[in-house]
Amino acid sequence: MRAYKFLLRPTVGQEAALRDMLRDHCSLYNGALQERRDAYRHSSKTSVKYGDQSAQLKEIRAFDPERHGCWSFSSQQATLRRLDKAFQAFFRRVKAGLTPGYPRFKGVGHFDTVTFAKDGDGCRWDSTPHDPQTRVRLQGVGHVRVHQHRPVRGRVKTISIKREGKRWYVVLVCDEVPPEPLPATGSIVGIDMGTVHFFTDSGGVHQENPKFLEAMAEELTAAQQHLSTFPKRTRRRTKKHRAAARKVAKLHAKIRRQRLDHHHKTALALVREHDVIGHERLNTAGMTKAPAPKPDPEQEGAFLPNGAAAKAGLNRSILDAGWGIFLGILAQKAESAARRVIPVNARNTSRTCPPEIGGCGHVAKENRVTQAKFECVKCGLVENADRVGALNVLYRAGLVLCDGA
């Protein structure tokens, strides 16, 4: 399966209709959530399922044809499924003992996606095939112009309309996508993710980290400070506050687009150059957790320093690099190109003396002298610490490859 995302170019009237569509689907989502809450709070603690709420759609559309009857039935079912998935995830987290996160009501500004479960059911991709300009037809909106910058392969399965700030996008999920294998290169590489360098490969080549968030930190800080100057009693009520909030959101969206563009181009270059790519299996959510507080045993209600400020800076750098998103993109591109990506255990990759370049394999915390320097305390091997990590990743990926073969 593959997803394609294209920019929409709606007319003024179509944009107003798209906003109405989001608003009415948001109203349906919130109404269905309220029904579930009320049913459970009743003395009988009745549980309402997706099937029960989907069966009421026909009556809802007949009762309020202006707000609900003009939109696609299947898209409204998809909105109810979205709520049902939120509840399923909530109960799964409760059962696993995690932070539950009960489903919340959505504000109109935070409900930004409507999904059509099937091409041809309330929507039609490439609705004007005889016109050189690609369009998508949406029930209640019309034929909306699409900026299609690349061909769509496979069979269109679902179509989603997404709002990001003032921009509108169409997202196609396609199955039966034919693979596009690249010619074999005979190369296998290991990469070590970092924050100073985005990654270092086993050949010692550093991929620079663009640090998009850091590059726009000054502008973003000024925008956030301006937004924070509005008193709480006037927030969300004035045009100036909404404009300030839109500016902050616009800057974050720009950073996100820059990061994604960098990830796609970097992953594509790796896939084109290597048949097998090994990387560390990283738990970025665990790595960016705030350190636990340290109560002061000598003073009640006081806490000892726990390095939270320094950890916050490291967490910001890790999240700015976007390792998790990059590795997901890399796996998808590798699958499409008939390449292989092997995640390996990251334990002690930067503390093990690499046998691949004449090392002894000794593992010790003291081997890692600084962030950039590795010096084995047993055999004296000196090497760049990031390259050592990449070499050990390569070695472990090779072991997996041999076992798999």
Residues 24-58: pLDDT tens digits? Answer: 999 999 999 999 999 888 877 778 899 999 999 99
- pLDDT tens per residue, range 377-401: 888 889 899 999 999 999 999 888 7
Name the nearest CA neighbour of 207 among 220, 193, 224, 217: 193
Strand partners, 256: none
Closest to 70 measured CA to CA, from 120, 139, 134: 139
Backbone angles phi, psi at 336, to 5 degrees: -65, -35
Neighbouring-strand partners of residue 136: 125, 144
Q: Residue 198 — very low, low, confident or very high, per pLDDT cuts 50/70/90?
A: very high
Q: What is the pLDDT of residue 302?
A: 87
Structure-block tokens of residue 89? 């995830």
pTM: 0.85
Residue 233's pLDDT is 64
Q: Which pair of tokens denotes residue 252?
A: 């974050």
DSSP labels, 175-197: ESPPP-PPPP---EEEEEE-SSE
User: Tens of pLDDT along 9-26?
Assistant: 999 999 999 999 999 999
Q: Please, which residues have CB within 8 angstroms of residue 66's CB and are 6 or more apart in sequence?
A: none
One-letter amino acid at 312 equals A
Dist CA 265 CA 253 (whole Å): 18
How confident is the model over 216-256, as pLDDT tens digits? 999 999 999 999 888 766 556 788 888 898 899 999 999 99
Residue 307 structure tokens? 């390095």
Report DSSP letters for 96-122, one per residue: HTS------PPPTTT--EEEESSTTSS
